[in-house]
Amino acid sequence: MSLISNYNFTARGKTVDDRIGDSMVAFGIGIAICFWFFNALIRFIDSPDLGLKMLLMGTELQFYEKLAVSTLFIAFGSHAKSNIKKRRYAEKDLQESDEKYRIILESIEEGYYEIDFTGNFQFINKSMCQILTRSENEIIGTSIISHLDKKDIKDFQTFFKKIRKNKKHPSTIECGIKIKGGGRKTIEMSAALMANFNLPPNRFRGVVRDVTEKKLLEKNLLQSLDDVKEARSGIVLGLAKLSEYRDTDTGRHLERIREYSKVIAQEMSKLPQYSGYITPQYIEDIYQSSILHDIGKVGVPDAILLKNGKLTDEEYEKIKKHTLLGGQALSSITKQFKDQTFLAIAKEIAYYHHEKWNGKGYPSQLKGKRIPLSARIVAIADVYDALTSKRCYKEALNHKKSKEIILDEKGEIFDPDIVNAFLAREKQFIEICKALHKDEVLPNSKTNPVMIHQEYDF
């Protein structure tokens, strides 16, 4: 298998290059002897009477001249031998390196390929054959495009065009490939221009990894995460509905609240001051946590929550404590699940969604931006839903009238930026309101009509 043996086909253990090198030294010596001989012959023809020593040596100056010329001839032969020897060693090293390179390619798990600029396979390793489930003879000479899924051909061609033109490109590309027997695999492949010494690039080469199993695991993991999110969403919604189980007058209030909150958060994320704060995760968190805003109502006594008549000031103060009860309950849960960001936001909302921009809300009389952003968002969503929803003690207001009320309270009850976000998305508010009020039938409620939003005096 050794490629070095290709050079060992001469007798006495010498290669052809060795013998050529020796010949070059002998050639130099021979030329030097011939030079001395012809020089002496010319002298003999010119001066037959000269002695032998004079014919061979000449004068002292002529002797040194001939010696110098002869030395040059011999040095030329030795230099030629040295260059031939160096070339032979270089070729031997190159052959050994190439052999090692090919052995490595055959031993790696990743597929290795070389294709020309037309896309035809020129070389592949065994792993590439295994990935394509075909023999080397079935692959070499075929177009790589013939093995790709049709949906990936355009992206593949664009990827390789960018590499050939030295344009910026991704380090790898994922493609679907057809395998023998009609199956499919997903591969991740890299590519680079391949050049031979100083010649222009004439083909691509790269590494291919079979990521079919990895993609399947990723798909299953994402599905599992989605299942967990759905389960979490269902549990949170069920928990939130506990706060409504005695208040049968609210219909689909929770579903509307989270949709309104999500729309406002999406609009607010466009503002420069919130671009790094309101992330997609924050929007998802506020969507999930906003429905827990009134969870503290489970701690309000039935005698107050279901009272048939106007609340006293003392009773209303007890109603207002639902913010503290909800915040404290969620704070306890948050300590147990510190990595659940939606619970931290839910705690903020439960505590502070009745605070007012002017500092006259409850429970802490926070003012302006000291009120957590999540609570400011849910505050306007909660009030809008209260205004546009029918209750046993009032008819629903239309969007126009509700909008006027919210605008009147801009900078007083509500954050001006959030009111602006509401205005920018009012079309979606109308759509959500219409969709989630459709076919809604409210049972006879026993809940006191004054209830939570008494302080707004709308």
Q: Give 109-136 as a DSSP string.
A: SSEEEEEETTSBEEEE-HHHHHHHTS-H
Whole-number pLDDT of residue 447: 47
pLDDT digits (tens, 9 = 90+) for 24-59: 556 666 666 776 666 667 766 767 766 666 666 666
Q: How many CA atoms lie within 13 A of 181 on its CB side?
A: 7
HSE at residue 282, side-chain half, CA atoms within 13 A, is: 16
* Whole-number pLDDT of residue 437: 83
Cβ(417)–Cβ(373) below 8 Å: no
Whether residue 7 has pLDDT greater than 50: no
What is the tens place of the pLDDT at every residue in 122-169?
988 988 998 988 999 999 999 999 999 999 999 999 999 998 888 888
Q: What percent of the chain has pLDDT over 90?
A: 35
105 against 315, higher pLDDT: 315
Q: Is the pLDDT of residue 241 over 70?
A: no
Tell me the C-alpha distance between 451 and 278, whole Å. 32
Report yes or no: 175 and 158 within 8 Å, Cβ to Cβ. no
Q: Above pLDDT 70, what percent of the chain?
A: 67
At residue 458, does pLDDT exceed 50?
Answer: no
Whether the per-residue pLDDT at 440 is higher than 50: the answer is yes
Here the tokens at position 20 are 């050529």
Selected residue with higher pLDDT from 186 and 34: 186
The token pair that represents 260 in the structure block? 């309104």
**Distance, CA of 177 to CA of 159 (rounded, Å):** 16
**pLDDT > 60? residue 448:** no
Region 99-127: mean pLDDT is: 83
Q: What are the DSSP calls for 263-325, one per residue?
A: HHHHHHTTSGGGTTTS-HHHHHHHHHHGGGTTGGGGGS-HHHHT-SSPPPHHHHHHHHTHHHH
- Mean pLDDT, the chain, rounded, equals 80
DSSP element (H, E) containing 208: strand 203-210
Residue range 50-96, pLDDT digits in tens: 666 666 666 666 666 666 666 665 666 666 666 666 777 666 766 66
Among 237-246, 352-361, 388-397, 443-452, which stretch is predicted with the lowest mean pLDDT?
443-452
- 206-220, 286-300, 401-415, 441-455: least confident range: 441-455
* C-alpha to C-alpha distances, 26 to 7, 12, 53, 81, 356, nearest whole angstrom: 22, 19, 25, 10, 107
End-to-end CA distance of the chain: 94
pLDDT digits (tens, 9 = 90+) for 351-383: 999 999 999 999 999 999 999 999 999 999 999
pLDDT above 60 for 10: no
How high is the pLDDT of residue 284?
Answer: 92
Reply yes or no on whether the pLDDT at 3 is more than 90: no
Task: Note the pLDDT of residue 227.
Answer: 73
pLDDT of residue 182: 80
In this prediction, residue 197 carries a pLDDT of: 58
- Answer whether residue 213 shows pLDDT above 60: yes
Give the closest residue to 88 by CA, choosing from 10, 27, 4: 4
Query: What type of residue sits at position 36?
Result: W
Say what angle helices 426-437 and 253-268 make with each other, to 10 degrees. Answer: 160
Please give the pLDDT value at position 330: 85
**Does the predicted model carry a pTM greater than 0.75?**
no
79: CB partners within 8 A, 6+ apart: none
Report, as an integer, the average pLDDT of 97-106.
Answer: 67
Q: Which two tokens stand for residue 204?
A: 């691509």
For the ranges 343-352, 388-397, 427-436, the lowest mean pLDDT is seen at 388-397
Q: Where are the beta strands (DSSP E) in 287-428?
A: none
| pLDDT score of 275 more than 50 | yes
Residue in the block written with tokens 């029918």 = 390
Q: Is the pLDDT of residue 179 over 60?
A: yes
Q: Categorize the per-residue pLDDT at 271 as very low, low, confident or very high, splitting at 50, 70 and 90.
A: very high
SS3 assignment, position 248 = coil
User: What are the tens digits of pLDDT across the range 303-358?
Assistant: 887 777 778 889 888 889 999 988 898 888 777 776 678 888 999 999 999 999 99
User: Which phi and psi angles does 237 have, rounded to 5°?
Assistant: -65, -40
CA gap 123, 118 in Å, rounded:
14
Question: Contact 330/343 with Cβ under 8 angstroms?
Answer: yes
pLDDT band at 260 (very low <50, low <70, confident <90, very high): very high
For the chain, count helices (H), then strands (E).
17, 6
Over residues 170-191, mean pLDDT: 88
Confidence category of residue 394, pLDDT binned at 50, 70, 90: confident
Q: What are phi and psi of 114, to 5 degrees?
A: -135, 125
Nearest alpha-carbon partner for 158 in 135, 175, 133, 142? 175
